[in-house]
Amino acid sequence: MEQQLKELQTEALAKVEAAADLKQLNDIRVAYLGKKGPITEVLKGMGKLSAEERPKMGALANEVRAAVSAAIEGKQSALEQQAIQAQLEKETVDVTLPGRPARAGNAHPLTKVVEEIEDLFIGMGYSIAEGPEVEMDYYNFEALNLPKGHPARDMQDSFYITEDILLRTHTSPVQARTMEKHKGQGPVKIICPGKVYRRDNDDATHSHQFTQIEGLVVDENISMGDLKGTLEVFAKKLFGEDREIRLRPSFFPFTEPSVEVDVSCMCGGKGCRICKETGWIEILGAGMVHPNVLEMAGFDSQKYTGFAFGMGPDRIAMLKYGIDDIRHFYTDDIRFLKQFAEHE
Ligand code: 2U9
């Protein structure tokens, strides 16, 4: 019996050692240590032993059980450790691999032009003013010397929400609102960038939505000379120091006198396709603020004078970047927009 028990131990330990996974190990546990296992079987023959031999065999049987059980436990933790190790190796992340570059967007060409112009005027002491795109007829037209029925309203047909509320046709109502807030006290020195809307048939040079930047200066002793000097600084900074400006008489209901402003063409006056062989490109409208507009906004037109100007960044961006269709700005084709990235 002693021999049998020792052989069982040797056999069991060899199987435990050879177990390849936890399932096999558990099968071995059930086979050798279970109630119907071979050790129990051997002990059934104890009845034939002498009273002296019996406790010895009992003790030996317990030793065999303990040895097999310890071997199983040892193997179990070794197998578990191996499984964790294998998983860790499988899931290893190589932190030294180069990262995937993040897709960075870029500023819209109109935003770039608007911000460049804003910076330029901030440098000359202007503040930026903003206002609603859904505007009252009063601020969009009346306060700008365009009473109901004025023929110049036809030039700015709009999208009406009600009889008295519309999508603004220019950013001028922002200036009217700002002046009103000043309660007749100068100086006012602002530029107003923003989106404007006009009822129009879209084509390469017309859009029912476009961008404007308008400027307004109101103070004592503001003259046409101040207007010309300001616009000259602006044009040279935006287009180049070698450029000149010229003023031509024009008409706007909110300014008197009014002018249209041209910048000399990059062809140097020789004439080219861009300037339609004239040597000049129209970039701005401007003038001295009409006394009616000053008075309606609460300013004494005997004491205060002012100048105002307006431009379309769409047109300026088209000239600057050689864009041939205004609709590119509003159709969000990523292939168009990507060309204005400053870095790759
Ligand atoms: C107030 C007083 C005066 C704003 C002005 C223009 C001339 C002008 C156009 C240029 C091209 C608009 O984008 S465009 O179509 N603008 O010619 N705008 S003077 O005059 C004002 C505005 C507000 C209170």
- The per-residue pLDDT of the chain, averaged, comes to 91
Distance, CA of 306 to CA of 188 (rounded, Å): 9
Structure-token match 């004592």, residue found = 220
Measured from the Cβ of residue 53, the count of other Cβ atoms closer than 10 Å reads: 13
Q: In the predicted model, is pLDDT for residue 39 greater than 80?
A: no
Give the distance (Å) from ligand 1 centre to CA of residue 312: 10
Q: What is the mean pLDDT of residues 123-135?
A: 97
pTM for this model (two decimals):
0.73
C-alpha distances (whole Å) from 7 to each of 13, 58, 269, 271 are 10, 16, 112, 111
Res 344: pLDDT: 44
Closest CA to 23 of 35, 31, 12: 31
**Which pLDDT band, with edges at 50, 70 and 90, does 202 fall under?**
very high
72, 16 Cβ separation under 8 angstroms: yes
Distance, CA of 137 to CA of 162 (rounded, Å): 10
**Lookup: tokens for 162:** 């009600």
Res 343: pLDDT: 55
Peptide bond into 187 cis (omega under 30): yes
**Lookup: tokens for 268:** 């140097």
- 256 is annotated as contributing to ligand binding: yes
Res 158: pLDDT: 85
Give the residue whose CA is nearest to atom 21 of ligand 1.
308
Give the distance (Å) from ligand 1 centre to CA of residue 293: 13
Which range (12-16, 196-200, 248-252) has the least confidence? 12-16
Instruction: Answer with the residue of higher pLDDT: 178 or 59.
Output: 178
- Report the percentage of the chain scoring pLDDT > 90: 60
Residues with CB under 6 A from ligand 1: 144, 170, 172, 175-176, 179, 212, 214, 216, 252, 254-255, 285-287, 289, 293, 308-312
At 198, is the secondary structure helix, strand, or coil? coil
- Within 13 Å of residue 118, how many CA atoms lie on the same side as its CB? 14
Give the distance (Å) from ligand 1 centre to CA of residue 82: 79
* Torsion angles phi and psi, residue 47, rounded to 5: -55, -30
Give the distance (Å) from ligand 1 centre to CA of residue 255: 8
Report which secondary-structure segment, H or E, holds 216. strand 209-219
C-alpha distances (whole Å) from 237 to each of 123, 124, 129, 269 are 11, 12, 22, 19
pLDDT tens string 229-252: 999 999 999 999 999 999 999 999
Q: Which atom of ligand 1 is nearest to the CA of 210?
A: 13
Give the distance (Å) from ligand 1 centre to CA of residue 17: 93
Q: Which atom of ligand 1 is nearest to the CA of 287?
A: 19
**Lookup: tokens for 196:** 């404007």
Spell out a b/e string for 273-289, using b for 16 or more CB atoms within 10 Å of the CB, else e: eebeeebbbebbbbbbb
